[in-house]
A and B are shown apart, each in its own frame.
Chain A
Amino acid sequence: MIDQKTRDELAEIAARYPEKRSGLLPMLHLVQSVLGQVTPEGIEACAEILEITPAEVSGVATFYTMYKRRPVGDYHVGVCTNTLCAVMGGDAIFARLKDHLDVGNDETTEDGKVSLEHIECNAACDYAPVMMVNWEFMDNQTPSSAVQLVDDLRAGKEVRSTRGPKICTWREAERVLAGFSDGLVDEGPAAGEASLVGLKLAADKGWTAPKGADQ
């Protein structure tokens, strides 16, 4: 339910911007955090605060793929099946997970723990095949590592992103997207191995940018 605290937070998001309607995308993230999906109640709350029609909010909510109109799992698992990841093994991973979880694309397991979606390029191609859990990176996956991952998530074991913190729930993630800090920023590395290959090679070879005025 959208209570007064949530209403206040929705208004707080809108107030970050010179024109309040700009807050709509993060506001819908907050709605998902509170309600587990975008519902008519959430749409009306946004519309009321922004002084626009529920139809206008609905139009936005249905345009962007991260907004869900039915419940997703506590752990929303994405498998990149855009060309590069697909070729490198994403298609095999997605097929194995559909079979293992007995769900189709954009469906949730009966226990409500895991939902599965094939996603588009998530800007981690040097770590292909890539998966995401609640929009945290799970780099360099294989079909068997993917099965282990979803089994661990369903069993409630601690799972850490390969380049980030311990995986939080989908609702908690949505709250961060709405602009409210969860204090996990300092967890995980600065960069994964692939991000550093050029830097390490340059260090080995003594290659640098030319000396500048500040050096």
Chain B
Amino acid sequence: MTTAPNQSVLTPVLTKNWGDEQSWKLSAYGDYAAAKKAFGMQPDDVITAVKDSGLRGRGGAGFPTGMKWSFIPQDNPKPKYLVVNADESEPGTCKDIPLMMANPHVLVEGVIISSYAIRANKAFIYIRGEVLHVIRRVQAAVAEAHAAGHLGKDIHGSGYDLDIVVHAGAGAYICGEETALLEGLEGRRGQPRLRPPFPAVAGLYASPTVINNVESIASVPSIIANGADWFSSMGTEKSKGFGIFSLSGHVAKPGQYEAPLGITLRKLIELAGGMRAGHELKFWTPGGSSTPLLTAEHLDVPLDFEGVGEAGSMLGTRALQLFDETTCVVRAVLRWTEFYKHESCGKCTPCREGTWWLTQTLSRLEQGQGSAEDLDLLVDQCDNILGRSFCALGDGATSPITSSIQYFREEYLAHLEQGGCPFDPEASTVFATAGAKA
């Protein structure tokens, strides 16, 4: 276990080579030693290793990755598929995109090992379309791996075949939802499917399918190379291993910090040089806009699945968006709500209609119109969306609203009292001190 005297606060694994010269090239990455090691194991033993490591899904939900793989019915005669969810679109989330830009081979190697474990001979990487250079890097990594014999027929004499297709999406937040992603990958409108059946039983082309986040799959080579115990020596009791924490907003040094799960925001802000000079933290998201807002009173919450859950939110994607006291929470929440309205796929009524109602009620409040009763109306609208929508998009739309009313009711009321927003939007910008010169 990690009881070394000089305990490492940050533990770069996935980010370790990002500063290397042409780190995206195979020659800089290495020879896929973990994949070769996996080919010497039985597929079920690879699944066991990932189970034993305690790796939980890094796309937000935190479902145990090895367990997901074990749900694939191997007696089903249909082909098995692995689909990587690289549709990173949750507001605030910005870890998979730099990972694929700097280190695409760790993802490709992870796909090989994971596909081998679930006995898939075809894998897909579904990348959102709006990141051209990232798509170039992943396309090239797959081509390089193929040319080097890490993909294709009878890989390194193992008797195992695998091909990877890199698939570019076309702009739809909802395709981050795994069944909507499958619809997009089947050439359809990206609307979620009813579950059950779950994708493990009937996913892509109604065949057994595993869908994993980029960071989950990219963590697999290190687990196979170093062992399950190595991985589980990091993190907390039920949230094992490391993860990339993405700090953005009003912090001195925003960016990517790879650390064991369970680190606190207080520590991360300290590493990031504090909040921007002369300002203090007002509210933050622990894992994207769909995770309820937290405040400065939650600085010491362990950032693991359990800790953030107990604080009334969710770890999500570790997308830590930090806002200081210059930011109007009503403006912030209205903008997120407009986002959910825009991205609602239209399939179910609570989300399709509800997000429009939310936007109307919120807009009125933000403009200082309406009344204090509108706050109750908003909470009531949220009650009629949360848990009643087809997928998690509708639930997510309610998170910023209910949490902001919980912590900042007075600020909503101040809009009504002043007949508008009491904040100067310029004060929250990065170029606030430059004024009109910006």
A-side interface residues toward B, CB under 8 Å?
Answer: 16-19, 21-26, 28-29, 50, 59-60, 63-67, 78, 81-84, 86-89, 91-92, 119-129, 132, 134-137, 140, 142-144, 161, 163-165, 173, 176-179, 181-182, 184-186, 188, 190-202, 205-210, 212-215
Within 8 A of A (CB), among B7-41: 8-13, 15-16, 18-25, 33-34
Q: Is the CB of B248 within 8 A of A164?
A: no
Kindly state the separation between the CA atoms of A64 and B133 in the bound complex, as whole angstroms. 20
B-side interface residues toward A, CB under 8 Å?
Answer: 2, 4, 6, 8-13, 15-16, 18-25, 33-34, 79, 88-94, 96-98, 101-103, 122, 128-133, 135-137, 139-140, 143, 165-173, 184-190, 205, 222, 225-227, 230, 233-234, 242, 245-250, 253-259, 271-272, 289, 319, 321, 323, 327, 331-333, 335-336, 339, 342-343, 345, 425-426, 428-431, 434, 437-438
Kindly state the separation between the CA atoms of A184 and B241 in the bound complex, as whole angstroms. 35
Known interface pairs A173-B132, A185-B136. Does A191 touch B12 (Cβ–Cβ under 8 Å)?
no
Q: Is the CB of A212 within 8 A of B226?
A: yes
- Name 11 extra pairs, CB < 8 A, besides A92-B425, A195-B102: A21-B186, A26-B167, A81-B335, A84-B91, A89-B431, A125-B246, A128-B430, A136-B133, A190-B103, A195-B255, A199-B256
Known interface pairs A121-B93, A201-B271. Does A92 touch B170 (Cβ–Cβ under 8 Å)?
no
Please give me the residue from chain B that is nearest to A96 by CB atom: B438
Residues of chain B within 8 A of A201, CB atoms compared: 10, 257, 271
Known interface pairs A22-B186, A88-B249, A202-B12. Does A177 touch B129 (Cβ–Cβ under 8 Å)?
yes
Q: Can you name 21 A-B pairs with beta carbons within 8 Å?
A: A16-B165, A18-B122, A64-B169, A64-B170, A64-B190, A65-B170, A65-B172, A82-B339, A126-B246, A132-B130, A137-B131, A176-B132, A177-B129, A179-B139, A185-B139, A196-B18, A198-B12, A198-B245, A202-B12, A212-B227, A213-B225
Q: Is the CB of A200 within 8 A of B92?
A: no
Kindly state the separation between the CA atoms of A78 and B130 in the bound complex, as whole angstroms. 10
Please give me the residue from chain B that is nearest to A14 by CB atom: B187
Known interface pairs A26-B168, A29-B129, A86-B335. Does A142 touch B92 (Cβ–Cβ under 8 Å)?
no
B25, B171, B339, most chain A CB atoms within 10 A:
B171
Residues of chain A within 8 A of B102, CB atoms compared: 190-191, 195
In the complex, number of A-B residue pairs with CB atoms less than 8 Å apart? 312
Distance of B429 from chain A, by nearest CB (Å):
4
A25, A181, A186, most chain B CB atoms within 10 A:
A25
Known interface pairs A64-B170, A191-B101. Does A25 touch B33 (Cβ–Cβ under 8 Å)?
no
Q: Is the CB of A64 within 8 A of B430?
A: no
Q: Is the CB of B187 within 8 A of A23?
A: yes
The 7 closest A-B pairs by CB, nearest first: A212-B226, A24-B187, A197-B255, A64-B170, A198-B257, A125-B248, A65-B171
Q: Is the CB of A28 within 8 A of B257?
A: no
Kindly state the separation between the CA atoms of A123 and B87 in the bound complex, as whole angstroms. 10
Residues of chain B within 8 A of A121, CB atoms compared: 89-93, 339
Please give me the residue from chain A that is nearest to B2 by CB atom: A210
Residues of chain B within 8 A of A182, CB atoms compared: 136
B8, B187, B345, most chain A CB atoms within 10 A:
B187
Kindly state the separation between the CA atoms of A209 and B345 in the bound complex, as whole angstroms. 41
Kindly state the separation between the CA atoms of A177 and B280 in the bound complex, as whole angstroms. 42
Kindly state the separation between the CA atoms of A193 and B271 in the bound complex, as whole angstroms. 15
Q: Is the CB of B98 within 8 A of A195?
A: yes
Known interface pairs A190-B101, A194-B255. Does A199 touch B429 (Cβ–Cβ under 8 Å)?
no
Q: Is the CB of A87 within 8 A of B327?
A: yes
